[in-house]
Amino acid sequence: MVEPKIVSVVVFVLTYVLFVLLPNKRTIVAVSGALLTVFLGAISFAEAFRAINWNVMGIFVGTLVIADIFMESRVPAYLAELIVDKAKNTAWAILALCALTGFISAFVENVATVLIVAPIALSLAKKLDINPVKMMIAIAISSNLQGTATLIGDPPSMLLGGFAKMNFMDFFFYKGRPSIFFAVELGALASFVVLYFIFKGFHQKTRLVPVEKVKSWFPTYLLIVLIVFLACSSFFDPGFSYTAGVLCMIFAVISIIWEKLANKGSIIEGVKSLDWDTTLFLMGVFILVGSITITGWIDVISETLSGLVGKNIFLGYTLLVFISVFVSAFVDNVPFLVAMLPVAISMSQRLDINPSLFLFGILIGASLGGNITPIGASANIVACGLLKKEGYPVKFGEFAKIGFPFTLAAVTAAYLFVWLVWKS
């Protein structure tokens, strides 16, 4: 019989290679890899079940449902239209759209955010007869950036929260120090300057014909109440073990019932339309990483990286951040982050430092690195798909021309902030 340690690493490496080669089949690959580790004895069924972070899964699925009815209420699109109409020219209209995108993305999954704002951007481009490519790229990367700022903004943040047992408020202040939110906002300010120089030549006056009508403000109120409940949940569940996931699922059920009663929507159809693809993908990745953790490979990787950096903590931090940026430019950040979070913990223990330094650094690098290329994040792929449908295919270099300087500015500012706040 093959050693479980060999099985786990071979299946893990093969699966991650296939993530790169077959990005459109990532869920099939992840689930197949997870099942293989169980069938070949690398991990038991019980261990596989425990490897899945059910609290994170509850947060993810629950916020998906709420984001869906929030989007259907047309409140975000209505606000986007309002902001564009108030802007003094096209440049500021685009920058305002990017800012609104970022704000929505802090509470709604990135792809949903892009789908909310994209129609407004495309309408603006048609009205002013300008190419929408740069605008749509800016909206996608702004969504990816701000999705990192809060616990419920995007799966990577949920993963960090689940792994480090951080609650909603910990993303603002953690153990008495400024946390991820402030690092991301500093990065946002730096990247906003980059966007300003990209769009400052667009001087046309903007005026959209209002078409959006708010269907209901109830989903907005529901989202606000959920955020308040999540902020208070740390008093009931300081270990971040179950409360946040349960709260999100309760609010999801309320959303589904409201949708059924208010809009006569089909509950079954609503549930079917959710992003089950990403849900299964996350579960598969949790099991894959669980298998290499149980069989000891995380310690091996950690020991190797610790040996490379010696006692130079700044070198270790820098290496983790910029490896994360580079890898995430080409590989989905979710599987990379799930694999690297335990490595960061193990390295910090070997170097006898606060693990938050490495954990926050990896989150920033992995989440923002995807902004460099059109394949680095799901929001980028969706934005490019919408542009292609409109007759504007996006070239790799065309995306990187905006994505690279944006990412460099955002990562550098956030990376330095985390180092200065958490180095000791």
pLDDT of residue 129: 76
pLDDT of residue 182: 96
Distance (Å, rounded) from C-alpha 88 to C-alpha 219? 31
pLDDT of residue 177: 95
Residue with tokens 């050693």: 3
Residue with tokens 């990379």: 336
Residue with tokens 């946002």: 188
Give the Cα-Cα-Cα angle 299, 415, 194 (nearest 5 degrees). 140
pLDDT of residue 239: 63
Q: How many CB atoms neighbour CB 146 within 10 A?
A: 28
Distance (Å, rounded) from C-alpha 23 to C-alpha 181? 30
Distance (Å, rounded) from C-alpha 160 to C-alpha 152? 11
pLDDT of residue 265: 64
pTM over 0.75: yes
Residue 94's SS3 state is helix
* Residue pLDDT tens, the chain, 424 long: 568 888 888 888 898 888 778 877 878 998 999 999 999 888 889 989 988 888 878 888 888 788 778 878 888 777 777 777 777 788 888 898 899 888 888 887 787 788 778 877 887 787 777 888 999 999 999 998 988 898 888 888 888 988 888 888 899 999 999 999 999 999 999 999 999 999 888 777 666 656 668 888 898 898 888 888 887 876 676 666 678 888 889 998 898 888 878 877 666 766 666 667 778 888 888 888 888 778 877 777 767 777 777 778 898 899 889 988 988 887 777 777 888 888 888 888 888 888 999 999 999 998 888 889 887 777 888 888 888 878 888 888 889 999 999 999 999 999 999 999 998 7
Distance (Å, rounded) from C-alpha 113 to C-alpha 104? 6
pLDDT of residue 270: 64
Residue 224's SS3 state is helix
Distance (Å, rounded) from C-alpha 316 to C-alpha 343? 12
pLDDT of residue 5: 82
pLDDT of residue 171: 93
Contact 415, 362 (CB under 8 A): no
pLDDT of residue 273: 65
332 burial level (CB within 10 Å; 0-12, 13-18, 19+): buried
